[in-house]
Amino acid sequence: MTDREPAPPSTGPFPVEGTDAGSPVSTSPGLFVCFEGGDGAGKSTQVRLLADALTARGHEVVVTRQPGGTELGARIRDLVLHGDHVAPRAEALLFAADKAHHVDELIRPALRAGRVVVTDRYTDSSIAYQGAGRDLGAGEIRALQHWAVGGLLPDLTIVLDVPASVGRARRGAEHDRLESEADAFHEAVRRGFLALAAQDAGRYLVVDATSPVRDLHEQVLARVDASLAARPAPTRAEAP
């Protein structure tokens, strides 16, 4: 688990680092892994494969998603993705509310108990979708997200990179509000994810999501194994 103290504001009304780069400080025995990427990238498949592999090895794994990882999050998900038009800034604020509640209610407690938390989307999705895709500004959305989650960053973020046209073909006919956006929107989102990964390469793994599913899983598992091996031993205060 990675907590970082906020730095003086670089943009927007919330205290936040200009980038998330820097040396993480582990504060619990848990491991926080996040999957990011555009719609149709195959995140849910890779989340399931990773969780199954880790569980088979004896790890306690918590699988979750954003939005929708809590009862409140499920309501926000339905409102934002399947409801009527939501203004872009309202959309960003609703997603931030989901993350704030999700982190306090589920993610932090699981990490403190030494579990591996695997989430389908986290703060980078808001920065990419609302900051880049909606053109609200990556800096302001980053600041909002950082404040909402109290500075909690994943130990490892895996970006499944896929062209917008491929993602569209994979999604099929049933689309939510964001999936229904044009390819230009989704290419902006893709660039947003890649820009975030470039700013803090040590905390990211970017993989070609057009590769075979099993090949992707092997790449992901190898990197997660390295992150697990690097975890600090729990102190008495951290032990569940």
Per residue in 68-112, pLDDT (tens digit) is 888 887 888 788 776 678 888 998 999 999 999 999 999 999 999
pLDDT of residue 27: 61
Closest CA to 43 of 76, 20, 70, 66: 66
Annotated binding residue 42: yes
Model confidence, pTM: 0.83
In a domain, 235, yes or no: no
Rounded Cα distance between 68 and 61, Å, is 18
Question: Does a structural domain hold residue 217?
Answer: yes
Residue 152 counted as domain residue: yes
Q: Looking at the domain assignment, is residue 90 inside a domain?
A: yes
* Number of structural domains in the chain: 1
Angle of helix 138-148 relative to helix 88-102, nearest 10 degrees, comes to: 30
Beta pairing partners, 208: 161
User: Does 239 map to a domain?
Assistant: no
**Is 37 assigned to a binding site?**
yes
Give the domain extent around 13. 2-229
List 225's β-bridge partners, or say none. none
Q: Is residue 237 part of a domain?
A: no
Predicted confidence band of residue 4 (pLDDT cuts 50, 70, 90): very low
The yes-or-no verdict on residue 13 having pLDDT over 60 is: no
Nearest to 31 by CA among 3, 2, 69: 2
**For residue 6, with 0-12 CB atoms within 10 Å meaning exposed, 13-18 middle and 19 or more buried, which class applies?**
middle
41 is in an annotated binding site: yes
For the chain, give the longest Cα–Cα distance: 52
Give the CATH number for residue 25.
3.40.50.300
237 — pLDDT class (breaks 50, 70, 90) = very low
Annotated binding residue 43: yes
Structure tokens at 15: 């205290």
